[in-house]
Chain A
Amino acid sequence: MTSTSSSTPYVESLLLEMRWRCVSLAADLDRLETLALASDHPRLVALKKAIPILLDSQPNRAARVEMIFSDVTPPPAYRQPQPQTLNPAPQA
């Protein structure tokens, strides 16, 4: 494969690594099919939601993928801290 005029060694290296990771991901998906994993396994469901983001045209893909993998249920109730002093003792 030849390089384009706008490419740099860094970009070439990055694209080759992405190619390697893309093939790895494809092989991972092939392998999952052989493992008879339940189609509603939460991590698999999340992966299927995340993969389309890789090819959409919006920015911040990594953060959006991370949020798909995140627990978004409400936190447990907790009290707000009540400051006892605004002038703590000096550090030793």
Chain B
Amino acid sequence: MKLIDPHIHCVSRTTDDYVFMQRCGVVAVTEPAFWAGFDRSNAASFADYFRQLVDFEPARAARYGIDHYSWLCINAKEAENIALSREVIKLISPLLDHPRVLGIGEIGLNKNTRNEITIFEEQVDLAAGHNQLILIHTPHLEDKHKGTAIIVDILKNDRRITPSRVLIDHCEEHTIRLAKDAGFWCGLTIYPVTKATPQRGVDLLETYGPSNMMVNSASDWGESGPHMLIDTLLEYRRRGHSEGDAREIFYNNPCRFFGQCEKWKLKAI
């Protein structure tokens, strides 16, 4: 069965992970720009990072038969530094035509501060001005509900934003309705400790149905891994759901959402 991991930070992963994904049937991934685990000191670091995302990583993934796309942004954590953020945002516009760039992401909030909100709004403006898809990062742990509510409120009140062109990621039991009821796509992130387990992910799929839902691993430099996508697929199948139903969630839905950008080449089966 062909699979897509809609959110994974390949720059932080080893080639062993690419081999593993290829063996498991992963044929495509998308990689949002994110926090590297430390605050970068200047915009030039981001220029190099973006080059890694749009040029080097797609070539590395291709060696394992995996189609790699990216999203560009200044992440919510480093967005606390407004001056740096605005320098980084200037770097993004010229790259939006790149054939491997699907849109703006993962933008959102981290600690729900005023500065983060300012830069989030400026990046929403960037996306709206260039008619880009948007991938949203929602905060961690105790900050998630408030942050998700702020993000949804801002997006719903911006008439330029079409909810079906926005993926709100890292949804959990207490936030998914905020996103889904407003018509946004929802991402379920299967990640140890701070996000959902495979079992909880499948609970959410069963409760809210497969429409406009995706599952991802968000594998990064922390304890995480592409196996979380596979574990969730296995849990879904273990509960008696058909391979066809699984294909809708783990392959076709990503194709439907990402396919709104003409650069995405894979088609729903």
A88 CB contacts on chain B under 8 angstroms: 128-131, 160
- A81-B113 contact given A67-B145, A75-B149, A88-B128, CB 8 Å threshold: no
Query: Beta-carbon contacts of A69-92 to B below 8 Å, as 1s and 0s?
Result: 111110111111101111011111
Among B2-10, B136-144, B217-225, B251-259, the stretch that binds chain A is B136-144
In the complex, which of the residues B117, B132, B173 contacts A62, with contact meaning CB atoms closer than 8 Å?
A: B173
Closest chain B residue, CB of each to CB of A73:
B146
Could you tell me if B174 and A10 are in contact, using CB atoms closer than 8 angstroms? no
Contacts of A80 in B (CB 8 A): 154, 157
Nearest-Cβ distance from residue A70 to partner chain B, whole angstroms: 4
Q: Are B154 and A78 in contact, with the CB atoms below 8 A? A: yes
Out of B141, B149, B175, B238, which one reaches A69, CB within 8 Å?
Answer: B141
Cβ of A58 within 8 Å of any chain B Cβ, yes or no, is no
Cβ-neighbour of B142 out of A70, A75, A86 (below 8 A) = A70
Are B173's CB and A71's CB within 8 A? no
Known contacts A77-B114, A86-B159: A71-B174 contact under CB 8 Å: no
Contacts of B113 in A (CB 8 A): 76
Interface string of B110-131 (1 = CB under 8 A from A): 0011100110010011001111
User: Closest CB of chain A to B56's CB: distance in Å?
Assistant: 22
CB distance from A79 to the nearest CB of B (A): 8
The range of chain B's interface size is 35 or more
Q: Is A66 an interface residue when CB atoms closer than 8 A count as contact?
A: yes
Residue B43 is within 8 A (CB to CB) of chain A in the complex: no
- B90-114 interface with A by 8 A CB criterion: 96-97, 112-114
- Name A residues whose Cβ lies closer than 8 Å to a Cβ of B: 10, 60, 62-64, 66-67, 69-73, 75-81, 83-86, 88-92
What are 16 contact pairs spanning A and B, CB under 8 A?
Answer: A10-B238, A62-B172, A64-B174, A71-B145, A72-B146, A75-B146, A75-B150, A76-B112, A81-B124, A83-B159, A85-B160, A86-B160, A88-B160, A89-B131, A91-B131, A91-B261
Residues of chain B having any CB pair with chain A under 8 Å: 96-97, 112-114, 117-118, 121, 124-125, 128-132, 141-146, 149-150, 154, 157-160, 172-175, 200, 203, 238-239, 261-262
